Amino acid sequence: MDYSELEADILRLIVGATEGSVRAFGEETVTRLVRPELLRGAAEDELTEEARAALTTACANVLTISAAELDDELATIYDGILVDDDLEPGVLTVISALAHWKSYLEQNRRGELYELAIRSIEDIDHEVSADLDDFLTTPEMVAEYERIRRLLAPGAK
């Protein structure tokens, strides 16, 4: 399965899933994408102390924080970025996941969950460097794809 086929299948699954399934998928995926180890590579000169605190708070409370509270934390994070285009990839993944989750909470748009799924695939790709022509050649990518399918498949939740 090439990358475009993978994207299309994930989109099809998200569009066809029940509300309960997409919510469970979103919660599990955003939790996976804001895990503390993704922030370990962040250099101290990338974020202000306030931004680091907001990032830590948002990640720790991602499933209980309101969209408005998350918006406030994201504003603090964005205001506290000290580099132009050089954030550590893990930090970018976390910030992106928080932003998509906030938008999902505000608007209940499934497209935001599709974006979370793609960030999750990219996170795995960053770890194992999948082949774009046959994306499911590594056990890690197969496991992530199966996790996505399991949570979104018809009959899930």
pLDDT tens for 66-81 read 999 999 999 999 999 9
Rounded distance between C-alpha atoms, residue 31 and residue 6, angstroms? 22
Please tell me the distance from the alpha carbon of residue 150 to that of residue 128, in angstroms, as a whole number.
22
Residue 157 pLDDT: 57
Report, as ranges of residue numbers, the positions in the chain whose pLDDT lies below 50.
none
pTM: 0.92
What pLDDT is attached to residue 56?
Answer: 93
Rg (CA), the chain: 16
Mean pLDDT in the chain?
91
On the 0-12 / 13-18 / 19+ scale of CB atoms within 10 A, 95 is buried
